[in-house]
Structures are given as structure tokens and as C-alpha cells.
Structure 1
């Protein structure tokens, strides 16, 4: 797939900016806080409808403006598609495909695929389990867009069930709670049904991703370290069968009934899952240097690229947000060699001189200053 053009209007610090991409590699150059990351964030939003920098649409709209727009033209093997996303400070966002508004956001996903790699991705190793769950969920959305709906359904059930558990916890002792427990049993069944759909998909994608990441990690580390990735579901199950997994959920819910009523929150389900990342059988978060952790994240990102390409049949875009400075020369070379001309790549940097001369020669170079993009550096 190929991103041909991007049009930003009142998005972050961009007033009205159009960009045409005319090379497989685009280097976006500029000082910090000029808009380089915002450009990549816009592409990420078109691919996943999520930003790794904020969860609030009002943060994405330019100051004093009611709404912002992102529009793009994407070329796939089956033809050209126009994508558009409108973000509002108040009210729901809207999406359109070939200038037709879509009722379901689900139908927007899967047109553009992209893998983002930024310095924030070190949280994959060092951060809380939620960071790894979010990473896994965003990968799944690109491989199987319907997963966005499945996860949304699960989260809705989780919110409703938590509200009921809080109500039960706050109920005074003399008040009967039989009716509430009957209602809770209904939510238990829905949690088991929706939770099993989430956990089974997560397990399957880790099973496919792990050997690819292990191979990349071996290449980058010179085969001196062995990466092991394990999915650790909150609800343990042995066979990928919907009925059996749901039954495992219900059994654990029964086991944890008293703690849940005392805490007023759900402690059973995929919102408590973990993805264990181990190097030489030692947890990566407590192992070795930042360099080793960066090697792991780089291996994960290269594995994402490869898996998406295998599943959808086309190479996704690669978005590199100021990461070359974070990598030593060996890891830089491994990354650039893996990319070559296989993936359309948008890469931000503060210094274009940090790139190999041959790489720069084949690249389109864009200069960003205060939300303005030019093909020549501005003179100040």
C-alpha cells in the first residue's frame, strides 16, 4: 500500500497543509515542537482511529477551532481510496470513505495499515501491563478490524458490571440484594462470552507474532540472546474452544465472587491480562541495559510489520518518530536494512545529516517549522 497524499486542516498545530508523497521514504526534518510528530500522528489515526499520545479528540483540534480534519489518498492493489476523519472538540468524530460518511467506524479500519515506532514504545518493556495490552489490541485491530467492535463490547460489559458491583458493595446490610445478584449473573454470562472472544484472539496473535519477533531479535542481538514472548491470560484455558473458554471464565468468576463484591470491581477478565517479555529466561523490564530493551522493542516492531504484511497481503506503512537517535549504529543499520524499499516509511528527525548518504539520496525530504511543511529548509 502507498500513502499518496495527506491533507491536514486545524489538526494540532497545522492550519491548512497538504503533502504529496512522491518517494518510498520520506524524511521529515525540524526542531522539536514544530509538528513532525503531529504529521505521523495523523497517519496513525487514519490507520487505527487511535493516537498513542492522547485519548481525547479535543487535544487533536487546533486551539480555538471547533473541529479538525485529516484527509488522505491511499493506493492499494485493488485501487485508490480516499479516507477522511473529522475530529470535534465537542461531539462525536465522523469518518468517510470516498466522500461517503460511514455509520460504523469499523468499516473505516483496515484501509490503511501502519506500524508506529517512537521513543514512547520503550514503555512496552518498562511500563505497566496495560501498555502491552494496548499494543496488542492495536495490532489486532489492524489484522482483524472487527476486533475493535469485540473489544468495545467487552469494555461496555465491564463498565456495566463494575457499576453493579459497586452498587452491591455500597448496599447496606439490612437491604436485600437477591435481585442485584440475579442481575449480576446476567452480566457474568456476558463477561464470559465477550471476554472469551478477546482472550482467544489475543492468544492467537501472540502465537503468530512470537516466533517472528524471536527471529528478528536473534539477528539484531547477534544470536547472543533468546527472546521469549508469552501470553498470560487472567483466565487460564487450554483449548481454543468458545464453550470451554467461557466455562473457564464462569468458574473463575465464581471463585472470585466474594473479593469482587468487597472491592466493587471486576477482577476476572482480559483487562487483567499480561504479555510476558523475557530475555534469556529473565523478565526484560528488569534485565540489562536500555540498549537491550531497545533491541527487544525494535524486534517487536519489525515483527509487527512482517505479520501485517503476511496477513493482509501488502506491506504496511512504517512511522518512525525520532527513533534513530535512540538506537546505536548497529541497531540503526539493522532497522534501515530491514526497511530498504519494502515499506513506505515516514521518519522524523532533527538532523538530516544523521542518515546514510545513500538513504537520504533516495528519500523525499520535508522540512517542518511551526506547522508549515516545505520541500526546502526555511532560512531564519
Structure 2
């Protein structure tokens, strides 16, 4: 796929900006806090409906305005597509594809695919489990758009069950409505099992790709293992067995849940382990090892999405070259070549050789305005 144009209107620090992409590789040049990351963030939003930099849409809208918009024209093997998203401070979104307003978010997902890699992704290794769950969920949404709806279902059930437990924990009564709780238990186990199975399958497909990349980048000195560690153990991909184990775990934690007023079992408690040469990367991995690991994960994402959708996704590299040593930079740049349309932000051009610069479109960003450098 190829991103032809991007239009940002009242998005972050952009008032009204059109961008035309004319080469497989686009270098977005500028000082910090000028809008480079905002440009890539808009593409990430159109691909995944998520931002790794913002929790609420009000953060995405230009200060002093009530709504913003990001729109793109995309060339795919199946034909051209026009995509648009309106974000409002109120939180209500409007999604448009080929001139049609979509009623369901799931109908928008999968139209554009992108892999984003930023310096913040090092938190995948050194951060808490929430970072890793968010990472695998974002990938799954692109591989299987209906997963977005499934995750919404699970989070809705989880909120309702937590609300019941919290009311009980705060009340003086020792009685908990066991009938109502049993209803939420059953729904949590049913929907949670679907989430667990999909996460497990995604990790199983991603793991060998990431392991191969990691071995290549480390010159075969290190072995990477990705291991899914769900809070509900699964011996096999058997939904009935997983669901039964889920319900048994809920019973085992019942007293603790009622005391704490929160759900302690389910996909929201899952972990993904990264192990390098039999050592947990989060606890003992050096910064170099952690960077190699994240780079391997991102390259594996590219390959997996390409295999599933049948064409290369977009690659968004947000100020990552400064985080990588020369060897890792070369591995990344050599892999990209012209196979993946790449948008890469940087504060200087020193990391690129003459051939890269010659074959790249160079855009300069200053205070939310973009100009194209003369060749």
C-alpha cells in the first residue's frame, strides 16, 4: 500500500496542512516540538484508531478549537481509498471511508495498516505489563479488525463486574448479590476466553519471526523467546477448557476480589515475557539488548501484517535512529529499502547515507507547517 496524501485540519499543532508523498521513503526533518511526531501520529490513528501518545481525543484537537480532522488518500492492491476521521473534544468520533460515514469502527479498521516504532517503545521491555498488552492488542486489531469489538465487549463486562465488586467493598453489608455476580462471571469467562485465544495465536505466529530477526541483528549471539503468560492458564487452544479454568480461577480469588473491590482474573492481567538467552529481558537486559529486542519485534510485525493482508504495511519511525547504534541502524535501513513505504522523523540527516537521501523525499517541519526540501 502507498499513502499518497494526508490532510490535517486543526490536528495537534497543525491548522490546515496538506502533504503529498512522492517517494517510498519520506524523511520528516525538524527540531523537537515542531510537529514531526504529530504527523506520524495522524497516520497511526487512521490505521489503528489508537494513539500511543494520547488517551483522549481532546489531546489531539488544536488548542482553542472543538474538533480536528485527519484524512488520507491511500493506494492499495484492491484500489484507491479515501479515509477520514473527525475527532472532537467531546470524545465523539466520525469515521468516513470513500465518502461514506461508517456506523461501526470495525468497518474502518483494516483499510490502512501501519507499524509504528518510536523511542517510547522501549517501554515494551522495561515498562509494566500494560504496555505489552496494549502492543499485542494494537497488532491484533490490524490482523483481525473484529478483535476491536471483542476487546470493547470484554472491557464493558469488566467495568460492570468491577462496579459490582466495588459497591460491595464500600458497603457495610457482608452480602454480595451472588446471582448478579454469577452473570458477570459467565460473561467475563466467555468473552475473556476469546481474547486469550487470539492473543495466544498472535504471539505464536509472531514469536518465530521476532526470534529470527533478533538472532540476525545480534549476529547470532543471542536467542529470543516470546512467551505468552495469561492469568488464566491454557494447556491447549480449547475454548471450553480455557473457559472452565477461567471460572475456577475466579472462584479461587473470590475472597480477595471482594475485599479489594476489583477483578483479579482475566486478560487485563496477562503478561508477555521476553527472554534473551534464558534471562528475562526486563530485569537483566542491557540497553543494547532491549533496543535489539524492540527492533526485532517491529520487524516481525511488518512481516506478519504483510503475510496476513497480502501487501506491505506502512512503516512509521519516530525519532528511533538516535536510539540505535550504527549496526542496528544499518539492519533497519537495509530491511526497509523500497519494500515498505516509510515515514521517518529525525532532527538531522547525519544518520542517512547519500543513496538513502537521494532516493528519499525530505520534508521540513517548523511550528506546525511543512515544506518540501528542494532535491
- Range class of TM-score, shorter chain: over 0.9
Instruction: State how far apart, in whole Å, the 2-side matches of 1:265 and 1:327 are.
Output: 41
Alpha-carbon contact 1:199-1:270 (below 8 Å) kept: yes
Structure 2 unaligned spans of 5+: none
Alpha-carbon contact 1:279-1:287 (below 8 Å) kept: no
Instruction: State how far apart, in whole Å, the 2-side matches of 1:91 and 1:233 are.
Output: 32
Q: 1:352 — aligned with what?
A: 349
1:29-108 aligned at under 5 Å gives the runs: 29-108=29-108
Instruction: State how far apart, in whole Å, the 1-side matches of 2:175 and 2:313 are.
Output: 56
Task: Deviation per CA, 1:336-361: give whole Å up to 9, x if none.
Answer: 11111110000000112321110110
Instruction: State how far apart, in whole Å, the 2-side matches of 1:168 and 1:33 are.
Output: 47
Instruction: State how far apart, in whole Å, the 2-side matches of 1:212 and 1:322 are.
Output: 24
Q: 2:268 — aligned with what?
A: 271
Alpha-carbon contact 1:106-1:149 (below 8 Å) kept: yes
Q: 2:198 — aligned with what?
A: 201
Deviation of 1:176 after TM superposition, in Å, equals: 4.4
1:137-148 aligned at under 5 Å gives the runs: 137-148=137-148
Instruction: State how far apart, in whole Å, the 2-side matches of 1:194 and 1:72 are.
Output: 34
Deviation of 1:171 after TM superposition, in Å, equals: 2.8
Instruction: State how far apart, in whole Å, the 2-side matches of 1:376 and 1:192 are.
Output: 55
Given the two structures, how large is their TM-score scaled by the length of structure 2? 0.98
1:300 to 284, 288, 297: 297
Helix, strand or coil at the partner of 1:354? coil
Quick check: 232-241 or 119-128, which moved more?
Answer: 232-241
1:160-171 aligned at under 5 Å gives the runs: 160-171=160-171
Question: Please, what is the CA RMSD of the aligned residues?
Answer: 1.0
Instruction: State how far apart, in whole Å, the 2-side matches of 1:168 and 1:182 are.
Output: 14
Instruction: State how far apart, in whole Å, the 2-side matches of 1:125 and 1:299 are.
Output: 12
Deviation of 1:239 after TM superposition, in Å, equals: 1.9
1:1-380 aligned at under 5 Å gives the runs: 1-173=1-173, 176-177=175-176, 180-376=177-373
Query: How many aligned residue pairs are there?
Result: 374
Alpha-carbon contact 2:58-2:91 (below 8 Å) kept: no
Instruction: State how far apart, in whole Å, the 2-side matches of 1:184 and 1:295 are.
Output: 45
Alpha-carbon contact 1:31-1:369 (below 8 Å) kept: yes
Alpha-carbon contact 1:117-1:319 (below 8 Å) kept: yes
Helix, strand or coil at the partner of 1:158? helix
Instruction: State how far apart, in whole Å, the 1-side matches of 2:279 and 2:60 are.
Output: 39
Instruction: State how far apart, in whole Å, the 2-side matches of 1:61 and 1:257 are.
Output: 43
Alpha-carbon contact 1:15-1:371 (below 8 Å) kept: yes
Instruction: State how far apart, in whole Å, the 1-side matches of 2:370 and 2:175 are.
Output: 66
